């Protein structure tokens, strides 16, 4: 469960109310990745549990203390020595980041007050508990050395360095007009990402909810003028909801997945969720919700979901690599300018004195003035050589980057085909074949426990009779796609595939001289239905004779090239297709 910054802000307020002024009576570490502080505040005894042992970190007032080991870890002993009997004097969140600091006043040898600090970094896989005094690290739950991070190390006796701060306006306290202005000034790849980048404290969940309430789709690039007032209203509403939670104890909403996990906890009832995939559960307050989440026993994720997650993660990483290559290419395409600078320097070499840091000359090709940076440590000729070397380097890089870019595009297309196949897989055999393909391509690694499992029989493609004379074959994964295209189909059979969308290979076979127009449309509908475009309208479907479909040497499973195609635009009708499938 990942909590957004605004939800952690409410959690921080709750902890302040309950714990400030309290005395730390006992300290335990129930596991190697958890810390329990027993705090007495007046007549109340409260237990603050930091549990970092799961997929995502939790910090909350628990109503169910875990068992403690007989032998406490070294970190637990250190904290007991320094913090037991100390009083909690301050609890604060770092801005709206996922970092909560707890300051504890202790009495020193000279009866002076010494303030020490526990820092809870609730940052997913990099979560940590760090114990400091005067910003010097005493110890931490997880040590981070230079080989693990060049930016910040978490080791005893080092100065504590905070994680990089989020850039953006406070989602809670910034004026909505200022947020909108920041979004417009700093556009991202889409409006959803622009909203997240312009603010601190919210993530994709709350941003999606605001867009949904504003009637703005997630793929919108920029704020539509006609939706601006509505967007400002919903933005203001969400801000006011957070402020009401700060001042009062109000209900919150937990989002549970089908695998019995708490996805997140939000402050306003979500409207944008697909209720067939999520259960929305109301809780009287945040503490109750977190305690409920901590006690959940997740249902074992079915293998299909595990594979879907692996493919989705690889797609995200591949898309990021493609973006990085695009950036590298733009830099490399600047090669010609480096040669122009070098040629201009060589033409004016005797006018340049060693030791200067820049010079201005007329471009020898366009006669426009250009300012040239120079290294004062190099001679004029050496400076020109630097630009020539950079030119040659960029020229060589362009081809290499273009090659990598094409390979990455091909990989992305292949991953999307696997994702599409997995979505339409309906039995264990089809899922197993996709898993085997993922293993053979190195996208996932073999689980040693599963190596000796009995092999499943090969799955068969769908076979659908349109009439006594005509049959359609549909491949539901890449192995089946290759099979229907290159084994079942004859040269003059018609081959169908969605244009621009990953999906099934569909073969139309008939004993007639030519298939009817209605049969061609039916086959096109099936190709659209068994593709990523299933829920779209006017889906382009290419079709051609099988003899014009080729598989390049060394191509990945399911990948083909084709020519002589025609294109039909169809809108799949799920009910009609489901009825057709039932009849077969």
Strands of 275-357, DSSP E: 278-283
CB–CB of 184/195 below 8 Å?
no
Q: Shortest CA distance to 466 belongs to which of 436, 425, 424, 494?
A: 494
* Cα–Cα distance, 499 to 567 (Å, whole number): 8
Residue given tokens 């293993």 in the structure block: 439
Burial 363-397 (b: 16+ CB within 10 A, else e): eeeeeeeeebebeeeeebeebbebbbebbeebeeb
For the cut 50, the answer to whether the pLDDT of residue 156 exceeds it is: yes
Cα radius of gyration rounded to whole Å, the chain: 31
Give the other-Cβ count within 10 Å of 511's Cβ.
Answer: 9
Instruction: Supply the pLDDT for residue 493.
Output: 96
Q: Sign of the CA dihedral 305, 311, 315, 317?
A: positive
Instruction: Supply the pLDDT for residue 54.
Output: 67
Instruction: Supply the pLDDT for residue 455.
Output: 58
176-234 pLDDT, tens per residue? 999 999 999 988 889 999 999 999 999 999 999 999 999 999 889 999 999 999 999 99
Strands of 8-61, DSSP E: 23-28, 34-41, 44-51, 58-61
Encoding tokens for residue 316?
């995200």
Looking at every residue in the chain, the average pLDDT score rounds to 91
Topology of domain 306-421 in CATH is: Helix Hairpins (1.10.287)
CB–CB of 546/489 below 8 Å?
yes
Q: Shortest CA distance to 387 belongs to which of 407, 359, 408?
A: 359
Mean pLDDT of 287-307: 85
pLDDT band of 109, cuts 50, 70, 90: confident
Mean pLDDT of 125-137: 93
Topology of domain 5-140 in CATH is: ibrinogen binding protein from staphylococcus aureus fold (2.30.310)
CB–CB of 360/372 below 8 Å?
yes
* Cα–Cα distance, 552 to 547 (Å, whole number): 14
Instruction: Supply the pLDDT for residue 210.
Output: 96
371-384 pLDDT, tens per residue? 999 999 999 999 99
For the cut 70, the answer to whether the pLDDT of residue 144 exceeds it is: yes
- Greater confidence (10 vs 302) lies with 10
* Cα–Cα distance, 255 to 7 (Å, whole number): 13
* Cα–Cα distance, 184 to 168 (Å, whole number): 13
Residue given tokens 């004016």 in the structure block: 348
Ordered by start, the domain boundaries in the chain are: 5-140, 169-295, 306-421, 462-583
Instruction: Supply the pLDDT for residue 448.
Output: 56
Mean pLDDT of 5-31: 96
CB–CB of 15/29 below 8 Å?
no
* Cα–Cα distance, 463 to 241 (Å, whole number): 55
pLDDT band of 120, cuts 50, 70, 90: very high
Give the other-Cβ count within 10 Å of 60's Cβ.
Answer: 22
Mean pLDDT of 90-101: 95
pLDDT band of 452, cuts 50, 70, 90: very low
- pTM metric for this prediction: 0.62
Torsion of CA 330, 332, 334, 335, to 10 degrees: -160
Q: Is 505 left (phi over 0), alpha (psi -120 to 50) or beta?
A: beta
Q: Looking at domain 169-295, which CATH architecture does it have?
A: Orthogonal Bundle (1.10)
User: What is the full DSSP assignment across 434-466?
Assistant: HHHHHHHTTSS---GGGTTSPPPPPP--EEEES
* Cα–Cα distance, 224 to 190 (Å, whole number): 12
Q: Shortest CA distance to 522 belongs to which of 474, 487, 459?
A: 474
């Amino acid at each position: 469960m990942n909590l957004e910054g605004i939800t952690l802000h409410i959690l921080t307020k709750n902890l302040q109310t309950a714990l400030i002024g309290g005395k730390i009576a006992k300290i335990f570490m129930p596991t190697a990745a958890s810390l329990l502080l027993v705090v007495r505040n007046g007549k109340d005894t409260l237990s603050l549990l930091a549990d970092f042992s799961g997929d995502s970190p939790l910090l909350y007032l628990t109503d169910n203390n875990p068992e403690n080991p007989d032998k406490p870890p070294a970190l637990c002993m250190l904290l007991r020595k320094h913090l037991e009997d100390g009083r909690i004097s301050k609890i604060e969140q770092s801005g709206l980041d996922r970092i909560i600091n707890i300051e504890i006043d202790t009495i020193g040898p000279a009866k002076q007050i010494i303030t020490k600090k526990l820092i809870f970094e609730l940052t997913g896989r990099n979560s940590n508990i760090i114990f400091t005094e005067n910003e010097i690290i005493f110890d931490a739950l997880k040590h981070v050395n230079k080989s693990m991070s060049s930016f910040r190390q978490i080791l005893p006796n080092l100065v504590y360095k905070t994680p990089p701060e989020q850039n953006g306006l406070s989602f809670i306290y910034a004026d909505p007009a200022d947020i909108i202005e920041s979004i417009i000034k700093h556009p991202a790849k889409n409006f959803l990402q622009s909203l997240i980048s312009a603010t601190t404290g919210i993530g994709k969940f709350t941003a999606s909810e605001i867009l949904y309430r504003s009637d703005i789709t997630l793929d919108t690039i920029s704020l539509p003028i006609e939706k601006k007032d509505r967007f400002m209203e919903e933005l203001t509403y969400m801000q006011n909801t957070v402020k009401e939670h700060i001042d009062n104890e109000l209900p919150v909403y937990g989002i549970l997945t089908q695998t019995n996990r708490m996805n997140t906890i939000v402050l306003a009832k979500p409207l944008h969720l697909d209720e067939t995939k999520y259960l929305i559960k109301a809780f009287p307050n945040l503490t109750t919700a977190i305690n409920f989440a901590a006690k959940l026993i997740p249902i074992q994720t079915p293998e299909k979901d595990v594979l879907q997650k692996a493919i989705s993660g690889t797609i995200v990483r591949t898309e990021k690599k493609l973006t990085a290559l695009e950036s590298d290419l733009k830099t490399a395409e600047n090669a010609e300018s480096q040669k122009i600078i070098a040629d201009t320097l060589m033409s004016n070499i005797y006018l340049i004195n060693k030791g200067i840091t820049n010079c201005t000359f007329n471009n020898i090709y366009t006669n426009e003035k250009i300012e040239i940076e120079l290294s004062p440590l190099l001679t004029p000729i050496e400076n020109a050589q630097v630009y020539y070397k950079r030119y040659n380097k960029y020229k060589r890089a362009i081809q290499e980057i273009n090659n990598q870019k094409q390979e990455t595009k091909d990989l992305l297309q292949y991953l999307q085909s696997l994702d599409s196949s997995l979505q339409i897989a309906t039995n264990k055999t089809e899922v197993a074949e996709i898993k085997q393909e993922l293993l053979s391509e190195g996208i996932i690694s073999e689980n040693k426990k599963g190596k000796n499992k009995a092999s499943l029989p090969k799955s068969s493609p769908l076979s659908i009779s349109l009439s006594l004379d005509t049959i359609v074959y549909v491949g539901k994964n890449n192995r089946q796609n290759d099979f229907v295209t290159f084994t079942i189909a004859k040269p003059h059979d018609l081959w169908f595939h969605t244009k621009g969308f990953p999906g099934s290979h569909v073969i139309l076979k008939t004993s007639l001289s030519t298939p009817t127009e209605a049969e061609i449309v039916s086959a096109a509908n099936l190709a659209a239905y068994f593709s990523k475009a299933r829920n779209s309208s006017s889906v382009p479907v290419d079709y051609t004779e099988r003899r014009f479909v080729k598989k390049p040497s060394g191509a990945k499973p399911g990948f083909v090239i084709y020519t002589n195609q025609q294109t039909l635009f169809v809108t799949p009708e799920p009910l009609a297709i489901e009825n057709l499938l039932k009849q077969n």
